[in-house]
């Protein structure tokens, strides 16, 4: 089997197979419909990264120090505006590459270092990871989330969808020359006879209050995948469908309510119920939409995707869905 030397760590040589393969299975853990990648050098050094198609790309400062990673100053004005002259970048450690966690394609594989004080602003319950692999990491590649099988794959060149897969076009923000400016995918779904544009957001998550867990009446963990919806749509749903369940003060730390949508149509499949967590209009209509090709009303997360084998083809601007147990519906049209 052809091998390439990746490097040396702890006195051990690390090799990567270069034999041709059709896909690479990543070292993923599916936790409450969210996906983490985990790597270890076998000598006590570990790295745990959260994957999030709607998120940023960074390694936390604490992990950089713990793993003794080399970091370099960054002269990017946008980054400097956020973290000042302390802005730095680093790369994934060699043992993570050996575990088949690929580096981002852009910027020479470099990632931002997130200062400790900014890491502390994250949602409660997310402190056990060492960083995030977000939209810039996914861009330029083809990825498959097999939620029922709990397998996450990087598809290699030559990948083709299976005959039964249903294609859903994705929108990405581009400039006047057609060059992609961001890799946040916009998808369209059907809910109660209407079409909504949402961020395809595999990392959308919430941490539920104990009272919300009691109201749900099920045994899942407090920290879990969710979907999100802007306030104006939330209120419209509540008015038009008073029978849809609403749990007030559902999210710990923020007090956000959530609403249960009985059925969502994705690529011609009916799935549900799906809980959507309330967000202010500005979160999506202003902030998130500024990075996308059109306005979005919210985000669709793992609590909806959990039914699917989902492949997102970033170069081809399309997602493909397979579901063995879903009901069929007419495809959603704008």
**CATH number for the domain harbouring residue 179:** 2.40.70
pLDDT at 15 over 50: no
- Whether residue 103 is contained in a domain is answered as yes
Same structural domain for residues 172 and 214? Answer: yes
pLDDT at 73: 85
The whole domain housing 259 covers 167-328
What pLDDT band is residue 8 in, cutting at 50, 70 and 90?
Answer: very low
pLDDT at 199: 98
Residue 212 to residue 124: CA distance in whole angstroms: 16
Q: What are the tens digits of pLDDT across the range 219-240?
A: 889 999 999 999 999 999 999 9
pLDDT at 95: 95
pLDDT at 310: 98
pLDDT at 122: 56
Edge-first strand order for the sheet with 186-191 is 246-247, 258-261, 274-279, 227-230, 298-300, 194-200, 186-191, 264-266, 269-271, 327-328
Same structural domain for residues 118 and 186? Answer: no
- Whether residue 126 is contained in a domain is answered as yes
CA dihedral sign, ordered 306, 308, 312, 317: negative
| Percent of the chain that is helix, strand, coil (3-state, to 5) | 20, 35, 45
Q: Per-residue pLDDT averaged across 271-296, rounded?
A: 97
pLDDT at 334 over 60: no
pLDDT at 126: 54
Same structural domain for residues 171 and 316? Answer: yes
CA dihedral sign, ordered 120, 126, 129, 134: negative
pLDDT at 49 over 70: yes
- Whether residue 104 is contained in a domain is answered as yes
pLDDT at 116: 80
Domain count for the chain, please give it. 2
Cα 13 to chain centroid distance, Å, stands at 32
Q: What are the tens digits of pLDDT across the range 169-189?
A: 999 999 999 999 999 999 999
Same structural domain for residues 127 and 224? Answer: no
- Whether residue 151 is contained in a domain is answered as no
pLDDT at 42: 87
pLDDT at 84: 52
Residue pair 299/54 in contact (Cβ under 8 Å)? The answer is yes
Q: Per-residue pLDDT averaged across 258-279, rounded?
A: 97
pLDDT at 201 over 80: yes
Global pTM reads: 0.88
Same structural domain for residues 173 and 280? Answer: yes
pLDDT at 6: 46
What pLDDT band is residue 2 in, cutting at 50, 70 and 90?
Answer: very low
């Amino acid at each position: 089997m052809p091998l390439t030397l990746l490097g040396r760590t702890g006195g051990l040589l690390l090799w990567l197979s270069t034999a041709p393969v059709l896909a690479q299975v990543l070292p993923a853990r599916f936790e409450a419909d969210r996906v983490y990648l985990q790597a270890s050098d076998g000598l006590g050094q570990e790295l745990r990264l959260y994957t999030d198609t709607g998120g940023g790309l960074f390694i936390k400062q604490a992990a950089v120090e713990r793993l003794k990673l080399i970091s370099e100053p960054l002269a990017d004005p946008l980054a400097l505006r956020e973290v000042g002259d302390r802005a730095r970048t680093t790369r994934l450690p060699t043992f993570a590459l050996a575990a088949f966690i690929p580096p981002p394609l852009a910027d020479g594989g470099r990632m931002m270092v997130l200062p400790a004080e900014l890491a502390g602003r994250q949602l409660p319950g997310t402190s056990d990871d060492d960083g995030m692999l977000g939209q810039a990491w996914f861009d330029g590649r083809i990825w498959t989330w097999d939620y029922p099988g709990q397998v996450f794959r990087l598809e290699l060149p030559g990948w083709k969808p299976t005959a039964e897969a249903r294609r859903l076009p994705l929108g990405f923000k581009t400039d006047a020359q057609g060059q992609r400016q961001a890799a946040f995918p916009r998808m369209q779904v059907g809910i109660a006879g209407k079409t909504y544009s949402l961020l395809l957001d595999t990392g959308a998550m919430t941490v539920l209050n104990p009272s919300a867990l009691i109201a749900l009446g099920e045994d899942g963990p407090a920290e879990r995948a969710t979907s999100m919806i802007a306030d104006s749509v939330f209120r419209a749903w509540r008015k038009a469908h008073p029978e849809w369940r609403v749990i007030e003060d559902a999210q710990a730390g923020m007090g956000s309510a959530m609403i249960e949508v009985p059925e969502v149509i994705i690529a011609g499949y009916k799935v549900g119920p799906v809980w959507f967590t309330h967000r202010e209009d500005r979160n999506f209509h202003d902030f998130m939409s500024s990075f996308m090709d059109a306005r979005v009303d919210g985000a669709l997360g793992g609590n909806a995707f959990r039914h699917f084998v989902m492949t997102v083809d970033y170069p081809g601007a399309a997602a493909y869905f397979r579901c063995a147990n879903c009901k069929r519906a007419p495809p959603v049209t704008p």
